[in-house]
Chains A and B, each alone.
Chain A
């Protein structure tokens, strides 16, 4: 339906989280209402301390078809992984 409110993606920073995490999406006429709706739809049980919303149409995603081209070349470059560094005995909890 063309007269439906636009879709928004909702990101919430939880009590102990350092970064905002995508939690879902909702419809709202504008950003202010989107934040208000996000509060009601996604934070009813004291989940968050901060809310971000972004128009879904403003999010650009990589294409699933490009997955091989984007990510696989890193697999055969073993030097990108830190497995060749000898670990000093004294270093704990790494």
Chain B
């Protein structure tokens, strides 16, 4: 991969996290546990979708530097197959019950804020600009998901058991968030990408502190999915992504020229 292709791939990773998680959160529309939560989780989804659009538009521009004009954000979102998606495995995991969704959001938000804060100082001005804007939104997301994690963890025996179960099930997808492959290493050395390996310490500290408040146990160390450069970031996904994309992409693929 040359430098331009590496940058394209990296920006796609950022874009696809937001795009896929937004689609997952969108599945809650009209089905939230209460009306207020329905609106709130959809709001978070829309924030992430807005960020994904900015990343995708930039990815298309980067692609256009070598192969003009480069794909549009819609082409990138709706006409790629699962193997071309670069999102983390955790964001494609199914919604489950509301506690599962909160657990997924909490683990991701804690990572997302750290990465965006780091990227706000990127040497790539476009990445720095998008990250600075997105970080403000992510700071609100993290407050919400942490608040719910604590409420449900430190709630009834039933809610605590379900929350613990949710965390235990998702834990194996957290290792990938801090794994750096060769392409990413080159961009980190160039001062463009965030050094996620260095963020594992702060992430673990923040997560442990919230777990303590939520009376939840930190899961035991175990096998981490996708952490050895064969995961979502490299296009190797769980079966859940294809099903998600089938629903997300059916309309533009069936009616390529469809307009509102």
Contact = CB atoms under 8 A, between A and B. Distances in A.
Interface of A: 5, 26-29, 32-33, 36-37, 40-41, 44
B34 A5 contact: yes
Given A5-B34, A27-B34, A41 B147 contact: no
B36 A26 contact: yes
A36 to B, nearest CB: 7
Given A36-B147, A40-B43, 11 more contacts: A5-B34, A27-B34, A27-B36, A29-B151, A36-B40, A36-B144, A37-B36, A37-B40, A40-B36, A40-B40, A41-B40
Contacts, number: 25
Interface of B: 34-36, 39-40, 43, 143-144, 147, 151
A37 B35 CA distance: 10
B202 to A, nearest CB: 25
Contact of A27 (B35, B40, B147): B35
A42 to B, nearest CB: 10
Main secondary structure of the interface of B (DSSP, over half): helix
Contact of B36 (A32, A41, A44): A41
6 contacts: A26-B35, A28-B36, A36-B40, A36-B144, A41-B40, A44-B43
Contact of B147 (A26, A33, A40): A33
B203 to A, nearest CB: 24
Contacts of B40: 36-37, 40-41
Nearest to A26: B36
Contacts of A26: 35-36
Instruction: Choose among A26, A37, A40 the residue with the greatest number of B CB atoms under 10 Å from its CB.
Output: A40
A26 to B, nearest CB: 5
A33 B144 CA distance: 9
B142 to A, nearest CB: 13
Nearest to B44: A40
Nearest to B40: A40
Contacts of B144: 36
A41 B39 contact: yes
A80 B36 CA distance: 46
A52 to B, nearest CB: 17
Nearest to B42: A40
A82 B140 CA distance: 50
A33 B39 CA distance: 13
A41 B39 CA distance: 7
A44 B40 CA distance: 10
A84 B176 CA distance: 80
A36 B44 CA distance: 13
Nearest to B46: A44
Nearest to A5: B34
A5 B43 CA distance: 21
Contacts of B35: 26-27
Nearest to A42: B39
B246 to A, nearest CB: 30
Contacts of A29: 151
A61 to B, nearest CB: 24
A33 B40 CA distance: 11
4 closest Cβ contacts across the A-B interface? A37-B36, A40-B40, A40-B43, A40-B39
A29 B143 CA distance: 16
Contacts of A44: 43
